[in-house]
Chain A
Amino acid sequence: MSRYVIKFYKEGVLRYISHLDLLRLFKRSFKREGIRLQYSQGFNPHPKMSFAQPLSLGYSSTGEYIEFETTQPYPPEEIKEKMNRILPEGMGILSCEELPAAGKTLAAMTNAADYEISIPCPEGGNIDIIQLVSAYLSQKAITVLKHQRKSGKDVEIDMKPMIHDFAGFVDNNYIMLHCRLSAGSTANLSPELVLSSFCSHSRISYDRTEVNIKRKEIYFDS
């Protein structure tokens, strides 16, 4: 039994493929390329395979991770090559590495993620984005109402400790926001929340369908 991690990108039409669809696509890709996955035991066996962190529908990414176990060892280069041959346009493997057979899952080790958000500049507006970002970050607390699914209530949370990094600049008539946010099971912050809170604080209006969000990297506890 061997364990591997793959780093991949997802863009173009594949942005519209959901988390579960992606899992199925990987399952089928492994099957088509004859890479034999290890299946769980029990009444309903399923292949041992999981993502570090789900990616929201509509986001592109250049830094997604999936780990999986195989019944026999394969050279990581061979996995990368085979998978790149089969994956549809819009997806590709950036690297493949072997993992120690035992250890925490990637999901448990996920700690932060980098996002790049682009919004078209509001028409006619002259934007001092540097100033807006620093004003936003200088707040004592950055509070936002978050809907809690369990209780069904909106709860006020302070996002500031979960924003590790936040920078903005204007490029080619687009406001570009780069941020590193907490991710994973202990603390997780959605870039959409940061976007809406920053834009309302800075009085920037935007149309959600014009916004592009790309995840650039996921960071793990060592």
Chain B
Amino acid sequence: MVLTNQLDKLLMKVEKPGRYTGGEWNSASKDLSGIKTRFGFAFPDTYEIGMSYLGLQIIYHILNKKDSVFCERIFAPAIDMEELMRKEGIPLFTLETKSPVKDMDILGFTLQYELSFSNLINMLDLSGIPFKSAERTKEHPFVAAGGPCAFNPEPLADIVDFFMLGDGEEILPEVCEAHESWKMSGREKEEFLKTLAQIPGIYVPKFYTPVYEENGTIRSIERNYEKAPLQIEKRIVEDLNTVDFPEHCIVPFIDTVHDRAVIEIFRGCTRGCRFCQAGMIYRPVRERSKDKIKEIAMSQIESTGHEELTILSLSTSDHSEIEPLVQELMGVCRENNVSLSLPSLRLDSFSFKVLEEIQGYKKSGLTFAPEAGTQRLRDVINKSITDQDIYHAMEKAIELGWSNIKLYFMVGLPTETFEDLDGIAEIARNITDLNYRITGKRGRFNVTISVSNFVPKAHTPFQWFPQDSAELFHKKHQYLKDKLKSIKGVTFQYHGTEVSYMEAVFARGDRRLSDTLIKAVELGCKFDGWREHFNYGLWIKALDETGIDPDFYACRVRSFEEVLPWDLIDSGVTKAFLLEENQNAVKGSQSVDCRRGCIGCGINQRVNCTMEGTL
């Protein structure tokens, strides 16, 4: 069944119909007769957001390269479209063939942020697929998930059939091959899941049952299939230069959040910030070589016609060949009338030189992330920026004519006191003073202080810490607001406490939350990452009706002995290391960047760590 005709009528009524048409350059079309595995790649948010995500292009490319696999895209319809689809009885569909999602063999979601979980469930609903894996039959696709939030998969354990951990380039082709042979065999669904459980990096939650203590914590996690692994090791691409990277990327017709050519220059990060989940779960650092990056850049520009090119990583300046790389990319871009954009640069003299060259008169804002207001707290979180670094960079920026500066901080970090908040205000004041000293003027200069609320994440040294209570967050926001109010030229922004609270519940939740998620969706929760759609009252109702105390997950101090819901998942970084780092944090003792010497996170027991001790 293909839905093209029914869709046409709807598209006349909705906002941005180009979200639902497909047919973009470089999108795939295949003859279904030779296809053994129809893979629906689902992004639990709208088209504009999903199409800005590089992982989609990578996975789409890797899967469609296989002759027997057809990967099609599925996005969450916007509210207006969803309403019409429900009214007209049109199920959720794929962009490539407008097939109902139900026709897929595997429906694979990417989990980029916890607050997209409700959209995942809502998308199952729109597809006519039962929420719980136990309720689905052979008529339904397998529901799979991957991405950073799969590192604590438990809140979705009753819903998702299997999780894929680590690099998709490694694991996805194997899943599809296993699916093809299972399909030929004609055996029961269970058999496929049993086969998958033998593939490294795959977690099948139904093969495990947590046993709880009376106080609600986990006593143990029991296996109920003897061949299910005791630890699920994430998959790692060892050499980025040998895996395929998409050069013929899909080019959206409509404007998306990031509408540009993107090249990932390395995966992982050596800095070891203790709050950062990405910095832990994407280890080790694996670089793409300068020549390979350049080759991809040229090919992407040619095959997409994009007018902007950007490079992606967790910390741009840390690429070992960054200076020649940027110089050469600037050349490629200049020749092709393409603008180069360089995110997350460390503000050193090289960066300023480059920014000056590519931005010239059009100086966009400059952003900087000290994360904490005092040296003490920065030591706690292992953010190796000093006050001197900050002021030095700001001085340079002001001299070169930047007049819009944005600084990112977190509140609610472990051990934080009000003195640390004073530190934030002091930095803001010192920067505006610095500007006055250099330019002699106070007007037309703005420092934005953007504050997010700390959310403790699984697989980080801070995974045992509680999140601040809502009251404390409010008090801290108010305190900062009062302090910053008196400084001319400072704008203060902060995130909603309730959103961060829900994020904290699901970031370290267990599988008792599956029912809560389903309840929340039934009550109408969706697009929770969007401020205008997030409905705290409904979440509280869902938690309440399913008998869940959210503070148990968000605001409780966990003991080091406690069995954590994600203990089965092995990111390659050992628990012993996380514990040691937790202790170092409390002591305020810094750990070095691993390029200065190995700090023993454990990942080099699994794979070769090429950046170790290179500085």
Instruction: Give A residues with C-beta under 8 Å from B.
Output: 12-14, 16-18, 20-21, 24-25, 27-32, 39, 43-44, 57-58, 88-90, 208-210
Contacts and interface: CB of A to CB of B under 8 A. Distances in A.
A27 B362 CA distance: 22
Contacts of A25: 253
Interface of B: 9-13, 17-18, 20-25, 251, 253-255, 301-307, 336-337, 361-362
A58 B16 CA distance: 11
Given A30-B305, A58-B11, A208-B12, 11 more contacts: A16-B21, A21-B255, A25-B253, A27-B305, A32-B303, A43-B361, A58-B17, A88-B23, A88-B24, A89-B23, A209-B12
9 contacts: A17-B254, A21-B255, A28-B306, A31-B301, A32-B302, A32-B303, A32-B304, A43-B361, A57-B17
Given A16-B11, A88-B23, A21 B18 contact: yes
A14 B305 CA distance: 18
A28 B305 contact: yes
A152 to B, nearest CB: 22
A90 B23 CA distance: 9
B305 A13 contact: no
Nearest to A90: B23
Contact of A16 (B17, B303, B337): B17
Nearest to B17: A16
A90 B21 CA distance: 12
A39 B21 CA distance: 31
A32 B25 CA distance: 11
A210 B11 CA distance: 11
Residue of B21, B253, B255 with most chain A CB atoms under a 10 A cut-off: B253
A60 to B, nearest CB: 12
A29 B307 CA distance: 11
The 5 closest A-B pairs by CB, nearest first: A28-B305, A13-B21, A16-B17, A31-B305, A32-B305
A17 B304 contact: no
A16 B251 CA distance: 16
A16 B18 contact: yes
A31 B300 CA distance: 12
A26 B307 CA distance: 12
Given A18-B254, A27-B307, A39-B337, A44 B24 contact: no
Nearest to A89: B23
A31 B337 contact: yes
Contacts of A30: 305
Contacts of B337: 31, 39
Nearest to A22: B253
A51 to B, nearest CB: 16
A17 B305 contact: no
Contacts of A208: 12
A44 B253 contact: no
Contacts of B18: 16-18, 21
A149 B9 CA distance: 28
Given A32-B305, A44-B362, A90-B23, A17 B255 contact: no
Contacts of B25: 28, 88
Given A13-B21, A16-B11, A210-B9, A31 B307 contact: yes
Contacts of A28: 25, 251, 304-307
Nearest to B251: A28
B84 to A, nearest CB: 10
Residue of B17, B336, B362 with most chain A CB atoms under a 10 A cut-off: B17
B254 A21 contact: yes
A17 B25 CA distance: 14
A20 B252 CA distance: 13
Contacts of A39: 337
Contacts of A29: 305
A209 B22 CA distance: 20
Nearest to B22: A13
A17 B17 CA distance: 8
Contacts of A12: 23
Contacts of A31: 301, 305, 307, 336-337
Contacts of B301: 31
B255 A20 contact: yes
A211 to B, nearest CB: 8
Nearest to A210: B9
B300 to A, nearest CB: 11
B397 to A, nearest CB: 20
Contacts of A17: 18, 253-254
A164 B442 CA distance: 61
Residue of B13, B254, B362 with most chain A CB atoms under a 10 A cut-off: B254
Contacts of B303: 32
Residue of A13, A24, A31 with most chain B CB atoms under a 10 A cut-off: A13
B94 to A, nearest CB: 14
A205 B91 CA distance: 29
B9 A209 contact: yes
A43 B9 contact: no
A38 to B, nearest CB: 11
A95 B243 CA distance: 43
Contacts of A58: 11-12, 17
B13 A13 contact: no
B576 to A, nearest CB: 52
Contacts of B251: 28
A29 to B, nearest CB: 6
Contacts of B17: 16, 57-58
Nearest to A212: B12
A57 B302 CA distance: 29
A58 B362 CA distance: 36
A77 to B, nearest CB: 22
Contacts of B24: 88
